[in-house]
Structures are given as C-alpha cells and as structure tokens.
Amino acid sequence: MATMKAAVLKSPGNLAVEDIPMPDLLPDEVLCRVRACGICGSDLRYLAGENPWAKHTLGYEKPNPPDMILGHEVSGVVDLDGRQMRAGMLAFVTCGRCGECLAGRSQLCRDTMHLGHGAGWEGRQYDPGGMAEFMPVWRRNLHELPETVSFDEATFLDGLGVAVHAVNRAGIDPGCRVVLLGAGPIGLSLMQVALADGAGAALVTDVYDSALECARELGAEMAVSGAEVAPDDLAGIVRDWSAGERVGAIFDTTGDRQLQQVALGMLAPGGTLMLMAGAADGLALTTAAMAGERVVTTSSNNLPEDFARGLALLADGRVRVGPMITHTFDLADAARAFDVAARKHETGAIKVIIRP
C-alpha cells in the first residue's frame, strides 16, 4: 500500500507527523503534490480543540473529527491532462442545491466540503488537508499560477479570497479612509485590497512591532501600537489622522470587545464595521453608535470569483505578501512550526509556511 507523510490532528494539542495511506480519488478529483501550506489562525484554533469553521459559518460549536489533516492555504503541482501545472486551489466546494447556493451566497452553504477544516468528509479515514505530501483537490478548483507567483506566495490566496469578499461586502467609497484592527495576514490582506479598491489611506493597529513594521512596508499610512495606546485613546488618534476625512470602513480581526466598542465611535455615518472574528460578547449597539445608517456585520468565507480576483491582485503586484512570510519549516517539523506561529509575540511570526 502506497503511503505518504501527513501532519494529523489526533486530539487537542496532539499533532503527529505520521505515515498514512495515499488518498483515494473520486472522479472529479486530482492528486496534488503539495509544495507549500500556510498555517492560518484557524489552524491554531483547531489544534487547541476549537472548530472555527463551524462557529463562524454554521453558528455553533461542533466537535472536530478524528484524524484530521490540517491546512487549507495550499499550493502545489498537479498532473492535469498530461502536463504538470503549478496551481493554487480553492479549498472548498459547496452543494449547489441549497437556498444559499441558489441565491448566489454559496459562501454560507452549510453542506460544504472543505479541505483542512474537517467539513464534509464523512466516510474517509483521514479528513484531507494541505499539511501532507499529497492532497486530493477538485479539478474545477484549480487555478494556474503565473511564474511570477511562488508556491509560498500562493498560500495566501485563501486569505486573499476572504479579504476580497469582506472588502466587497463593506463597500469602499473612493478616497475614504480605512482602519484595520489587527495586522496579521488577514488584516494586512484586507488593507491592501481596500487600497486597491480605492481607499485613500489606511491606519493599522497591532500589539507587536514586526506586524506594525510589515504594515508600514505594505502601505499603511499610520501604524499604531496597541501595546502603547489604550483602546479608549485610539479614537482621538484616528480623529487626528483622518483630519475630518471620512472613515468609511473599519475591519476588526482581533475579536476584542473594547476595540470593537471604540471602533463604533470612529465610524463615519453610512460606514461599515466588519467583524472578521465575530462580535465580542457584550458589544453594546447603542442608539448613538448605530445612528446615521452605520452597519455592523460579519463576513464568512468567500466566493469562487473572490479567489480568482485575489490571484489577479497578487499576480499584478497590487497585493504583496512576501514581507509577511517570516518562517518556513519542513513537514517533519510541523509541531515546531505551530509553536512558532502560536508564540508570535516572542518569535515575530506573521506567516509560517510548511513545505512538505
């Protein structure tokens, strides 16, 4: 029996690199030789025993399946119609039959098969994901990579699709100012997509220096240290920075209640507060905070066209991801890679990539 190496989540806190059977392929699947897989914040939450996909898409907590291979930020090589293709890949397919899919909201489909998220793989011994030497992927989800996009850079395509979708939902008025609370890979992707969509300037906050330095390098006009500035003082800084210009969108990736509360007071009438990590418990939506048609909402997943646009932005250089890549590891060192990603305040990690 042919085998491959994979990082398998056995139980909370227990990630084991082991030899497992090569995946069986269904008729619409092809085999990808994985070249790079990013560690996402959701991967860290799976390792801790949470199920972020169920929480943010289904709206409830759900146990993780046993023997789950993590990793949904994947690039690799596939043999497609007799030629080797460098590919990035949309990591999920939806049912196409439910009300959400038929209404064009497939990102909300509850019957989704999702690589690396343990969703929809009932009946397979190992739930497939990208932290393995090989991975099944749907032929229709393959996107050929231009030579200008490396395998490491292509691991950002999943997050870029999420960012494109959220920015589309928020709506960016030409020239408006945007605020990003949190400068991880999603926050920095959101910033660049918003600027590409016409935002005039961006202010970014985070609590550690390497993220703030990266934000400046990628186009933030102002980077504010949350380790030095209390949330209640942030509103005054944003007011001075915007100098009367409209703060049309604020994206929160932190899930912090104090920051979300302060953000409501910074938002212009008609603006959108996009809660990427969900609304914090206790967030007060007062009459004053919601006046003037302010919108408070969330964003879930992305549409296939969002993924394609993310690739286009990456390919033409309007979004840059290279400065975010801080660490790379071999698959055999997956546990160490997760430790470095989890201790980012000590290690300076922004994006950690595993190369099987």
- pLDDT at residue 121 in the model: 80
Helix (H, G, I), strand (E, B) or coil at 128: coil
Token pair 């967030």: residue = 283
Inter-residue contact 254 to 281 (CB < 8 Å): no
58 has pLDDT over 80: no
- CA-CA distances (angstroms) from residue 35 to 152, 234, 354? 8, 41, 9
Question: What does CATH list as the number for 3-156+321-355?
Answer: 3.90.180.10
Predicted TM-score of the model (pTM): 0.95
* Residue 293: CA count within 13 A, CB half-sphere: 3
Between β-strands 134-138 and 177-181, what pairing exists: parallel, antiparallel or unpaired? unpaired
Ranges for all domains in the chain classified under CATH 3.90.180.10: 3-156+321-355
Ranges for all domains in the chain classified under CATH 3.40.50.720: 166-298
Token pair of 216, please?
Answer: 């400046």
pLDDT digits (tens, 9 = 90+) for 163-189: 999 999 999 999 999 999 999 999 999
Beta bridge partners of 5: 19
122 has pLDDT over 90: no
pLDDT digits (tens, 9 = 90+) for 234-293: 999 999 999 989 999 999 999 999 999 999 999 999 999 999 999 999 999 999 889 999
CATH class of segment(s) 166-298: alpha beta
pLDDT digits (tens, 9 = 90+) for 37-46: 999 999 999 9
- Residue 156 gets which letter from DSSP? T
